């Protein structure tokens, strides 16, 4: 009998046992760096002449692994294999499909430190960020498995005299799953497992910055008993392979998490019917954000500063939910700003695969480093640099590893704060996806709400206030998919805070929620006259 679902508990790396287990896992994974991972299509493991080279962001001369790089011919084979396998997988009982997820969750639970260590190397996650990523992957597996059992049989309908009526949910077909690099195990596992447990088959095209952990995930599913052809691991370039998979007439739906620009492109391509296509493709899109924390004059400045720093700089600000705008009432602006600067100064930055349990690692790659650095230069013209590179000794103090200065050989950017920013400035409107915080002054609560909603996005946000009526008003007027009161705007848990946003933040799919699996199925009403 299944126990009720509950999220995985985190560990405290200040304790000796978790620390030693993490150090042992890092040593083990380091010994496995540089291996080659083939494509997985059906029961074939295909070695390709061209490879995707995954490198450490914190040490870009270190190769994490070499991953097969698919061509369009490989992508076509993956689609054909998935389509053929769908004919049998769709008929597997929902409970049986769910058990595959439960087995995969058990394997990940046993390998939690190893999987976390892989992300310290490949994505430069801190220990706790990597561990939380693995826990979320386990949560998705456990929760979606239970949800499929709930949704797998006939659904309630109103009885009608003389007829036997039922409603059943049926799978759609071949899924193209395109996950992001920033939650390379959690979101990849969540998107993939949701499609699989609902009876669909998957062609997985992982992000080129995080293909190794996706390959490890595919191995976990194989160990859990997933039949060949249900999950086809097919890394490749977006232009050659990604577009081909999205446009293919046998693709039934596309599940995507990533930038707004790529999401809109997929949205447009899915809307166009390809020759030979006999359905309207679905697109499930999780895109970007320009998230904020709003604090009014009744808020506790220390609590506000704690929430801002945690949400702005966790995983180097590379979360779609990260706080990139702090909107502060004019009466507490200076006090909160000073506390945020002081807290951010104390954050440690360096190679998270070292023995030091550091708070921040490197940003994901050279392109990200250049883009974020360019935004910082823009921000210097749009406001005042309160903390960051080039801000005297404060910048050097934040970037330390065992007492040294800026670590060499990695894509490191220190916590950066730009204050006095206009609400319409570029750094207040455009997604930066890095450790850069724009601080904006609000005249009053009404003005603050106007600034909050003054972007094209609507993903996450938080309000710090001790005014009950303002909290109630924000429930209706703070226009984001995930709203938090008196806490940070990051850290959504599966089935605790179903995740997804409004406007240009996506289709509000509410991943980790009780409606999510319905996006990958279609309802069939069946009536028999008695």
Q: Is residue 322 part of a domain?
A: yes
Q: Which residues of 76-96 are buried (b: 16+ CB within 10 A; e: fewer)?
A: bbbbbbbbebbeebbeeebee
pLDDT at 472 over 60: yes
- Determine the pLDDT at residue 395: 36
Q: Is residue 262 part of a domain?
A: yes
In three-state secondary structure terms, 520 is helix
- Report the CATH number that the domain containing residue 351 is assigned in CATH: 3.40.309.10
Same domain, 227 and 361: no
Let me know whether 245 and 360 are in one domain.
no
Residue 503 lies in a domain: no
Residue 277 lies in a domain: yes
Mean pLDDT, rounded, for 105-123 = 98
In a domain, 52, yes or no: yes
Together in a domain, 245 and 299: no
Looking at the structure, do residues 282 and 305 belong to the same domain, yes or no? no
Give the pLDDT band of residue 1 (cuts 50, 70, 90).
Answer: confident
Is 119 a member of any domain?
yes
pLDDT tens column, 234-282: 999 999 999 999 999 999 999 999 999 999 999 999 999 999 999 999 9
Domain shared by 125 and 201, yes or no: yes
Q: How far apart are CA 244 and CA 248, in angstroms?
A: 6
Q: How much is the pTM?
A: 0.96
Does the structure show a pLDDT above 50 at 404?
no
DSSP 523: E
Task: Identify whether residues 301 and 282 lie together within a single domain.
Answer: no
Domain with 434, as residue range(s), is 291-493
Give the Cα separation of 277 and 252 in Å (integer): 9
pLDDT 10s digits, 219-230? 999 999 999 999
11 found inside a domain: no
514 and 405 in a common domain: no
Q: Is 99 exposed, middle or buried (0-12, 13-18, 19+ CB in 10 A)?
A: middle
pLDDT of residue 406: 64
Residue 265 and residue 369 in one domain: no
Q: Which residue among 188, 292, 320, 489 is the active-site one?
A: 320
Same structural domain for residues 301 and 283?
Answer: no
How sure is the predictor about 508, in pLDDT bands with cuts at 50, 70 and 90? very high
Residue 286 falls in the annotated catalytic set: yes
- Cβ(203)–Cβ(75) below 8 Å: yes
Catalytic residue among 286, 382, 389, 419: 286
Q: What is the pLDDT of residue 418?
A: 98
Nearest residue to 86 via CA among 151, 52, 48, 42: 42
Are both 130 and 34 inside the same structural domain?
yes
CA torsion sign for 223, 225, 227, 232 is negative
> Average pLDDT for residues 418-440, to the nearest whole number?
98
Do 61 and 110 lie in one domain? The reply is yes
In a domain, 116, yes or no: yes
Rounded CA gap, 176 and 233, in Å?
A: 11
């Amino acid at each position: 009998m299944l126990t009720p679902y509950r999220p995985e508990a985190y560990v405290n790396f200040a304790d000796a046992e978790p620390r030693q287990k993490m150090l042992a896992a890092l040593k083990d994974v380091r010994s496995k760096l540089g291996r080659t991972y083939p494509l997985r299509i059906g029961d074939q493991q295909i070695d390709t002449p061209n490879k995707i080279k995954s490198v450490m962001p914190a040490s870009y001369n270190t190769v994490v692994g070499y991953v097969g790089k698919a061509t369009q011919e490989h992508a076509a084979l993956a689609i054909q294999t998935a389509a053929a396998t769908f004919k049998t997988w769709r008929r597997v009982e929902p409970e049986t499909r769910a058990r595959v997820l439960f087995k995969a969750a058990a394997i990940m639970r046993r390998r939690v430190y190893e999987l976390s260590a892989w992300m310290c190397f490949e994505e430069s996650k801190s220990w706790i960020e990597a561990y939380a990523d693995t826990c979320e992957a386990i949560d998705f597996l456990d929760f979606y498995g239970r949800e499929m059992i709930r949704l797998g049989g006939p659904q309630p309908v109103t009885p009608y005299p003389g007829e036997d009526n039922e409603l059943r949910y049926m799978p759609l077909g071949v899924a193209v799953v395109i996950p992001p690099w920033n939650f390379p195990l959690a979101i990849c596992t969540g998107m993939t497992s949701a499609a699989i447990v609902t009876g669909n088959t998957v062609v997985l095209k992982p992000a080129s910055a995080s293909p190794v952990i996706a390959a490890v995930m595919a191995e976990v599913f194989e160990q859990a008993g997933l039949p060949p052809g249900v999950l086809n691991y097919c890394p490749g370039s977006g232009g050659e392979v990604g577009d081909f998979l999205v446009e293919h007439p046998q693709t039934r739906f596309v599940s995507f998490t990533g930038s707004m620009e790529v999401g809109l492109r997929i949205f447009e391509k899915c809307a166009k019917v390809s020759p030979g296509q006999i359905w309207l493709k679905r697109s499930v899109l999780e895109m970007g954000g320009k998230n904020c924390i709003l604090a009014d004059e009744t808020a506790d400045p220390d609590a506000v500063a704690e929430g801002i720093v945690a949400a702005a700089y966790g995983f180097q600000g590379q979360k779609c939910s990260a706080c990139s705008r702090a909107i502060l009432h004019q009466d507490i602006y200076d006090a909160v700003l000073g506390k945020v600067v002081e807290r951010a100064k104390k954050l440690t930055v360096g190679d998270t695969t070292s023995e030091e349990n550091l708070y921040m690692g490197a940003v994901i790659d050279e392109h990200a480093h250049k883009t974020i650095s360019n935004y910082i230069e823009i921000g210097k013209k749009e406001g005042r640099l309160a903390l960051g590179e080039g801000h005297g000794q404060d910048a050097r103090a934040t970037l330390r590893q065992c007492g040294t200065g800026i670590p060499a050989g990695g894509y490191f950017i220190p916590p950066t704060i730009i204050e006095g920013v206009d609400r319409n400035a570029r750094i207040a409107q455009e997604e930066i996806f890095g450790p850069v915080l724009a601080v904006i002054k609000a005249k009053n609560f009404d003005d603050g709400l106007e600034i909050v909603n003054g972007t094209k996005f609507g993903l996450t946000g938080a309000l710090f206030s001790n005014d009950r009526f303002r909290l109630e008003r924000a429930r209706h007027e703070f226009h984001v998919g995930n709203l938090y009161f008196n806490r940070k705007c990051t850290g959504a848990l599966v089935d605790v805070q179903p995740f997804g946003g409004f406007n240009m933040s996506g289709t509000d799919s509410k991943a980790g929620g009780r409606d999510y699996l319905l996006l990958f199925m279609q309802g069939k009403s069946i009536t028999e006259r008695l």
